[in-house]
Amino acid sequence: MLRMSLLSLAGFLVACVSVSAQEWTRFRGPNGSGESEATTIPAQWTEKDINWKTSLPGVGHSSPVLWGDKIFLLSADTDKGPNPAKRYVLCVNANDGQLIWKREFQGVPHKLHNLSSYASCTPAVDDKRIYFAWSDPEHTLLMAMDHSGNDLWTQDFGPWISMHGFGTSPMLIDDLVVITGSQEPSSKAPDSPRPKESYVVAVDKENGNIRWKIPRKVDTASFSVPCIHRTADGKTELLCCTTAEGIFSLDPKTGKENWSEPVFKLRTVSSPVLVSGLVIATTGQGGGAGNSLVALKPGPKPEIAYEVRKSAPYVPTPVARGNLLFLWSDAGVVSCVKADSGETLWLERVGSKCYGSPVRVGDKLFCVEDDGKVYCLSASEKFQRLGMYDLKEESRTVPAVAGGKMYVRTFSNLYSIGGKK
């Protein structure tokens, strides 16, 4: 019994260390799930829970990522700013919020959606490098720096064609950086050059050399970030979403398509998540007409398990706790459904407009809505409001959780919250 108790204690301590040391390495954290098991983020914030607030140059919708005690994110000036379209790569100290370094790159002003920015890409990070992307009508640049801000390599994939501007983010798998280039016909963006192709591309993390680049259909620009799926027979696949090809699987070593299922009729902005053995993805448009969530059973013969249409999100990506799936719609309506069946357990209006995505932290849901209000709900079968804190500045980003603290970015400020036990 003593041995079992010691083993249990050891397991508990390992679990605690892994949670506190968890890195937040890409858009929506580990594998894009938006989940953390931290227990040190309070539901109702007060001024005492704000560890620090740091003013950022420019504005942006780039969400923070972390490795160790360093936070990385992008920002940019607006067309009307002192340096039109200048981009910034920022490194901030996670302990005190001090700016460690800033790199500047002059951009080219061009048309954007009124809800977008020149810094809407969330970087990816590992123990050696950060990886980030931006574009203008002539260039789509994927770049790498070391943690000190030194340039390592750059790849230019040519024009990016979209009436909304650029907004996709890179993700990492093994020794590769993967990014999608889902573009739309020049008829939808008449001032832009004609796109040669849409694509998914993987480059070597070490030197930026292209390992594979797979052409995809040119249809409606999609901004979905792939996730990784481990199949029952031990294989690894990349799960991707575009309007033209729906949900599809690629071999990460070669880019070869394993299977695809064209399940979408509208644009895909949110990213796929894996819950209860199903791929969960959404499609929609501004205004919400026709928005839907699709749950797909992946495999060589993929099958649609169910669809959710009522108050389905378009931009926000869903998040889960076990078999509970939480949908935070663009209009601020939140619902909880059973992930394996699609049965709705509750549906309630919480806030107003939302263009970020929720995260689950233990048994709590957090989401920053467009007006800067941070709402906290119980991640359970029963609807319960737990807290609200007003950051008093617009935000279209996803919180990051690492080291037991939450990091929230508004247009021009970065916050550290919680961590006290």
Torsion of CA 106, 108, 110, 115, to 10 degrees: -10
pLDDT value for 16: 39
pLDDT value for 172: 98
Q: Assess if residue 9 is contained within a domain.
A: no
Please state the rounded mean pLDDT for residues 204-228.
94
Residue with the larger pLDDT of the pair 183 and 310: 310
Q: Assess if residue 128 is contained within a domain.
A: yes
Tally of domains in the chain: 1
pLDDT value for 346: 98
Tens of pLDDT, residue by residue over 263-283, are 998 999 999 999 999 999 999
pLDDT value for 3: 44
Counting every residue written for the chain, the total comes to 421
Lowest mean pLDDT segment, chosen from 29-43, 110-124, 142-156? 110-124
Q: What's the pTM value of the predicted model, to 2 decimals?
A: 0.92
Calculate what percentage of the chain has a pLDDT beyond 90. 80
With CA atoms as reference, report the closest residue to 301 among 335, 258, 339. Answer: 258
- The CA R_g of the chain, rounded to the nearest whole Å, is 20
**pLDDT above 80: residue 364:** yes
Which structural domain, as residue segments, surrounds residue 295?
Answer: 23-417
- Confidence band for 185, pLDDT divided at 50, 70 and 90: confident
Residue/partner pairs of 336-342 with CB below 8 Å, 24 or more apart: 336/380, 336/381, 336/383, 337/308, 339/275, 339/276, 339/278, 339/280, 339/295, 340/276, 340/277, 340/278, 340/305, 341/305, 341/306, 342/295, 342/305, 342/306, 342/307, 342/308
- Confidence band for 420, pLDDT divided at 50, 70 and 90: confident
Please state the rounded mean pLDDT for residues 232-239.
96
Residue 47 phi, psi dihedral angles, 5° rounding = -60, -30
pLDDT value for 79: 83
Cα–Cα distance between 8 and 252 in angstroms, integer?
Answer: 37
Please state the rounded mean pLDDT for residues 111-117.
88
Q: Report the CATH number at residue 48.
A: 2.130.10.10
Cα–Cα distance between 362 and 43 in angstroms, integer?
Answer: 11
Q: Assess if residue 221 is contained within a domain.
A: yes
Q: Assess if residue 10 is contained within a domain.
A: no
Tens of pLDDT, residue by residue over 160-184, are 888 788 989 999 999 999 999 988 7
pLDDT value for 15: 38
Lowest mean pLDDT segment, chosen from 21-35, 337-351, 363-377, 385-399? 21-35
**pLDDT above 70: residue 20:** no
With CA atoms as reference, report the closest residue to 320 among 358, 376, 269. Answer: 358
- How many CB atoms are located within 10 Å of the residue 96 CB? 11
Q: Assess if residue 173 is contained within a domain.
A: yes
What lies within 8 Å, CB to CB, of 123 at 6+ separation is 62, 65, 72, 73, 74, 89, 130, 131, 132, 169, 170
Q: Assess if residue 11 is contained within a domain.
A: no
**pLDDT above 70: residue 385:** yes
Local structure of 31: helix, strand or coil: helix
Lowest mean pLDDT segment, chosen from 112-116, 242-246, 320-324, 348-352? 112-116
Mean of per-residue pLDDT scores for the chain: 92
With CA atoms as reference, report the closest residue to 255 among 243, 238, 241, 279. Answer: 238
Q: Assess if residue 15 is contained within a domain.
A: no
**pLDDT above 60: residue 4:** no
Calculate what percentage of the chain has a pLDDT beyond 70. 92
Most confident segment among 3-7, 185-189, 388-392: 388-392
- Confidence band for 153, pLDDT divided at 50, 70 and 90: very high
Q: Assess if residue 2 is contained within a domain.
A: no
pLDDT value for 129: 98
